[in-house]
Amino acid sequence: MCRDDKTGLKAIIAIHSTVLGPALGGTRWKPYASTDEALTDVLRLSRGMTYKSSAAGLDLGGGKAVIVGDPATDRSDELLTAYARFVHSLSGRYITAEDVGTTMSDMDFMSGESPYIAGISEAKGGSGDPSPVTSVGVFSAIKATAQHLWGSTSLEGKHICLSGVGKVGSALAGHLAAAGAHLTVADVVEASAQRVATATGATVVDASKVHSVACDIFSPCALGAVLNDVTIPELGCAAVVGAANNQLERPDHAEVLRAAGIVYVPDFIANAGGVINISCEKDPGGYDRTRAEAKVAANVARAVTEVLQTANEKNITTAEAADRMAEARLEAAAGTPRIRTFPKETEKN
């Protein structure tokens, strides 16, 4: 619990696991109704990061932080400085980054106080906007799914439907079109869908109907809870592979998808490009975009392939297979307890 009365800072930093390495996870800044609500959220989110980084093959643990307040009115240099000092006081066991409510310029600013701040701008030697690299990861996940389903990573002539063509979805559409896929796109902001259609030759459909279009792969790249009791029976695809977080409205929807014969690539596997990209800021020699994209493509493809194979072999949902894969790495590493800190405490960026 972090409290600084002078600046009004109220924050919670949750470290769920450091078994694989320092706990990396963003800082969410929002006006939680109560401390209990903030605590529940930060604990849930930090656990999610442990699984995400483990499944992505990273030597990172899981953590997350929340600042309780309204980022629109509460932001000040003094408050951010006080928060960065709390992060620093954990000596690298927790590394923070941008999340809902915090921005890259917040990270840039805080990086002056502590080396345990990631997701900083390219101008400051960081990895910059993660969205293009996240799209490389989703593209790789789609190709690995194609290999699993159809015996080839080729997307030539495959029909892929994208729901949401914002930062990740629009970049993904570009990769898919270049690979010869036939696209259908939808966005609640119709101008965004039209822009992508003009660039890629995609067909535009209504955002409320896109999940039901008959296609090879449906790619949710907008909001969460898109796979639910209403949409799953209407799906017209062989597989769901997208960037959106928390795609399943309830955990048991993974079983509903399996029963319907639809291959679901768990969201935290498909969208791990963001965290893999940020982890590359700590590469020896510094961040390099080409190297980061290659690592994202390779790690995501490997994870998707293993999850889909395990789910088939063990007759379990892909969600369970992904959790087991993440837990296996944690269990293997738990025999060698370590709390890694990076960079060394004496280093500053």
Tell me the catalytic residues: 64
Rounded Cα distance, 250 and 96, in Å: 28
Rounded Cα distance, 19 and 331, in Å: 9
Residue 55 in the binding site for ligand NAD (CB under 6 A): no
- Nearest distance, CB of residue 15 and ligand NAD, angstroms: 21
167 CB burial (10 A radius; 0-12, 13-18, 19+): middle
Q: Among 14-22, 78-86, 165-173, 253-261, which window interacts with ligand NAD (CB under 6 A)?
A: 165-173
- Nearest distance, CB of residue 10 and ligand NAD, angstroms: 24
Binding test (CB under 6 A) with ligand NAD, winner from 1, 178, 188, 259: 188
Q: Among 110-118, 119-127, 145-153, 237-245, which window interacts with ligand NAD (CB under 6 A)?
A: 237-245
- Taking alpha carbons only, the member of 333, 301, 139 closest to residue 221 is 139
- Nearest distance, CB of residue 167 and ligand NAD, angstroms: 4
Residue 231 in the binding site for ligand NAD (CB under 6 A): no
Interface with ligand NAD: number of residues (CB under 6 A): 24
User: For ligand NAD, which is the closer residue by CB, 159 or 211?
Assistant: 211
Residue 187 in the binding site for ligand NAD (CB under 6 A): yes
User: For ligand NAD, which is the closer residue by CB, 205 or 328?
Assistant: 205
Residue 130 in the binding site for ligand NAD (CB under 6 A): yes
Binding test (CB under 6 A) with ligand NAD, winner from 244, 257, 322, 325: 244
80-109 residues in contact with ligand NAD (CB under 6 A) are: none
Binding test (CB under 6 A) with ligand NAD, winner from 26, 62, 119, 274: 274
Residue 343 corresponds to which amino acid? P
255 CB burial (10 A radius; 0-12, 13-18, 19+): middle
HSE-up (13 A, CA, CB side) for residue 118: 28
Prior bond to 343 cis, omega within 30? yes
Residue 45 in the binding site for ligand NAD (CB under 6 A): no
Binding test (CB under 6 A) with ligand NAD, winner from 71, 166, 174, 343: 166
Rounded Cα distance, 118 and 100, in Å: 15
User: For ligand NAD, which is the closer residue by CB, 61 or 169?
Assistant: 169
Q: Indicate the helix (H) or strand (E) that contains 331.
A: helix 318-334
Task: Output the 3-class SS for 122-144.
Answer: HHHCCCCCCHHHHHHHHHHHHHH
Rounded Cα distance, 149 and 216, in Å: 10
Binding test (CB under 6 A) with ligand NAD, winner from 192, 231, 299, 318: 192
Q: What is the per-residue DSSP string for 191-221?
A: HHHHHHHHHH-PEE--TTTGGGS--SEEEE-
Q: Give the chain's largest Cα–Cα span.
A: 61
Binding test (CB under 6 A) with ligand NAD, winner from 70, 122, 125, 189: 189
Residue 308 corresponds to which amino acid? L
User: Per-residue string for binding with ligand NAD, 197-226, x by CB under 6 A?
Assistant: ----------x-------------xxx---
> Where on the chain is the footprint of ligand NAD (CB under 6 A)?
130-131, 134, 163-169, 186-189, 192, 207, 221-223, 243-245, 271, 274
